[in-house]
Amino acid sequence: MKRILITGASGMLGRDVQDVLGARPFTALSRAQLDILDLDAVHRAVTGHDVVINCAAYTAVDDAETNEAEAFAINAEGAHNLALAACNAGATLIHVSTDYVFNGQATSPYGEDDVRDPLGAYGRTKAAGEELILEAHAHGSVIVRTAWLYGQHGPNFVSTMLRLAGERETLTVVDDQRGQPTWTRDLAHKLIDIIDADVTSGIFHGTSSGETTWCGFARAIFAEAGLDPERVHPTDSASFVRPAARPAYSVLGHDAWARHGLSPIRSWQDALHEALPLIRTY
């Protein structure tokens, strides 16, 4: 049975990965337990493992605009360290990346091989991480891009909408950004599918099937919670100016799953139906 190391294990995705692994042998290390910028420590941690799942990341998109060096250190240099250590240990690295490596100007789903063209600092650091990983350990690294994550074990859009529903009569949510809401538990299961299928290299898009806008997602959350979705009103991105530009179109294609005989993640609506009761009681 493969021995698995999880980095960034205390985050929303990392905790779900631990849950779905169950009784399999794994080591879960939080940022406090493993500094992925310390190459010697990374080598020691990776030694003895067959697979490394990297859930560690700098994900503060807006803050990255003024802290790009810090974001680059974690998202690029840290990822590179893990790739070097995995290569040295003969292990497979499964690295979680993002839709932000694309510019969001497409009109049809992005393919796994489409050119990286990030809009802002966060995307640049994640794109650099992908490139450094492939330079260091191309034949032993799997990159899984995801987007619009939500889950039980951390702050996210679903929990925010549920909280605001109890505080406000109406909400205004942008309706001109399209993407794929993705439950971290669904993504965790797909990461394990990659391990079980003995996939050791390639790029996958780990997002839910289907697409919607943030407004459409918010209305679906309200409906699943037994609330009136008409309380959610649409607006455009110009009404919510933020330090970092958001991709207008973040829909990712799923062709790589079929090429490896695997199914993509189910529809975002089915996932939300199952996830919402867990998030509401957390």
Beta carbons within 8 Å of 49's beta carbon, 6+ residues apart = 3, 4, 5, 27, 89, 91
Contact status, residue 194 vs residue 259, Cβ threshold 8 Å: no
Residue 122 annotated as catalytic: yes
Residues in the chain: 282
Tokens of 45: 């941690």
- The residue annotated as part of the active site, out of 58, 100, 110, 122, is 122
**Residues belonging to the active site:** 122
